Amino acid sequence: MRWDIFRKSMIFIIVFELLSFIIYTTQDVANFSFLLLAALFAIIAFLNLPLAILIALAEIFIGGMGYLFYYDLGGAQISIRMAFFIILLAVWIVELAKKRGITAFLKSKFLIPYTVFFTFLGIGLINAFIRGNGIADIFLDFNAYLFFAYLFILYDFLKIHDLWKQIWYVGIACFGWLATKTLIILYFFSHGIETAVWPIYHWVRNTGIGEITLMTSNIYRVFFQSHIYSLIGLAIFATILFIYRSKMSRLDKVLLFRLLVLGSATVLISLSRSFWAGALASLPLIIFFVFYNKIALTRLLRRAFIGLMAVAFAFLVLFVVVRFPFPDPGAGSFGSLFRDRTNVSDEAAAASRWNLWPELWKGILKEPVLGQGFGAKITYITDDPRIREVSPTGEYTTFAFEWGLLDIWYKIGLLGIAAYLWVLISVSKEGIRQYLKDKDNVMPLALVSGLIVLFVANFFTPYLNHPLGIGYLILTTIYLDRN
């Protein structure tokens, strides 16, 4: 039964992405395809709500910025993620009306911290209008936080429909597909298969899936926004490896090792320093509970060896993909690639980030307590070659910043950041409490490990103010509050 869910999920994901690619390369039927998919999803939502929830979650896990399908309104685009969200919101409102407008979230143990945080989001919105920030900028900056409505939607729906096992296997399918897609694209680009390279590059770039960048010789960086779920999954599986492995069946141990290899390969070739920092940040929690549980030294060393072997196999997988002899892949050095990537000042993107740092702090210190509201902009000098083509001086003004935590502080102030941290700490404490109460259930602790890597990655790259990070926080919150 469980692998039937996995297989069906994998088939759906592959078909969904292939359709996105085909429709993007033709363009003629893009708007019609969007409307057709939205209509089909609406029908599914009213006839089979659990299936609609799984589809919406799968899209969040793999869909990057949400534009695998979109409706073009003369330059303005409506994403398929937004369509799914609006449809589920409509279904939820109908169901809520039947219950006289009372959401089950009012009984949540996390109600108070979330209410305080939402209050500061509201203050940030009001503050933006008072300060005269551009209306379009306010909407584009704030709209990601609208996805917190999923907290109420999924809280009510998942109280009625117990879908956690299905969500787990959908998540594993998405995790596996993200790794597979990454490796396929790496192969095409490292071997210079021109018939595939240019269509894939434009599709990945223009639908907001991610970036593909030549790093050295024939070795490319393949980075997807959705790789954050590869990182979170890696943290979850590493926690299971060190804390729970002795209680697993032989088949599950083999599967766990394969997932660790795939996750490690994906995070490595993403060449994201923020991901690498996030991965390291999960280790203190794991190490603490290894010693807390008094795991025997021999078992600990065996599990550490398995973890290192998974990373070694991940490097081997990447090497084989890049060096596969047909067609001739050319030359390139993995050693220099990863060595250069650890230099945080040489690369244009890193240099731009550091150029933004002092300007962002200046903006924060002007209004440190309540912030400057959504849509507030900052001007700084960027070394991004795409911007330099338009502005030779590199001067760039924007309201979207790479420093995720500082972005939130700049918009909603120190009190808003404190409220968000209250939410994150409350959820994490509950996860640890549940694990200590029942050590046969490692999932609460594993989910907290995922939250830690998300938080650390968000310091460098914005995720907790984006549907991808918000989505994981919501699922973790509801799972830990399900009883």
Closest to 349 in 3D by CA, of 446, 213, 216, 206: 213
- Of the pLDDT bands very low, low, confident and very high (cuts 50, 70, 90), residue 358 is very high
Beta-sheet pairing, 395-398 with 378-381: antiparallel
pLDDT of residue 331: 57
HSE-CB at 206 with a 13 A cutoff on CA atoms is: 17
How far the first Cα of the chain sits from its last, in Å, is: 25
HSE-CB at 415 with a 13 A cutoff on CA atoms is: 14
Residue 223: CB atoms within 10 A of its CB come to 20
Q: Which residues contact 405 (CB under 8 A, 6 or more apart)?
A: 417, 458, 459, 464
Reported as a single tens digit per residue, the pLDDT across 14-38 is 999 999 999 998 877 899 999 999 9
Reported as a single tens digit per residue, the pLDDT across 431-455 is 999 999 999 999 999 999 999 999 9
For the entire predicted model, the pTM comes to 0.94
pLDDT of residue 218: 77
pLDDT of residue 364: 95
Rounded-to-integer distance, Cα 223 and Cα 214, Å: 11
- Asked if 217 and 331 count as a contact pair (C-beta separation under 8 A), the reply is yes
Closest to 472 in 3D by CA, of 454, 445, 446: 454
Instruction: Provide, rounded to the nearest whole percent, the portion of the chain with pLDDT above 70.
Output: 95
- Collapsing DSSP states into helix, strand and coil, what is residue 375? coil
DSSP 327: S
Reported as a single tens digit per residue, the pLDDT across 366-398 is 999 999 999 999 999 887 777 777 777 878 888
Reported as a single tens digit per residue, the pLDDT across 32-56 is 999 999 999 999 999 999 999 999 9
Residue given tokens 């550490």 in the structure block: 304
DSSP 131: T
Reported as a single tens digit per residue, the pLDDT across 209-265 is 999 988 877 789 999 999 999 999 999 999 999 999 888 889 999 999 999 999 999
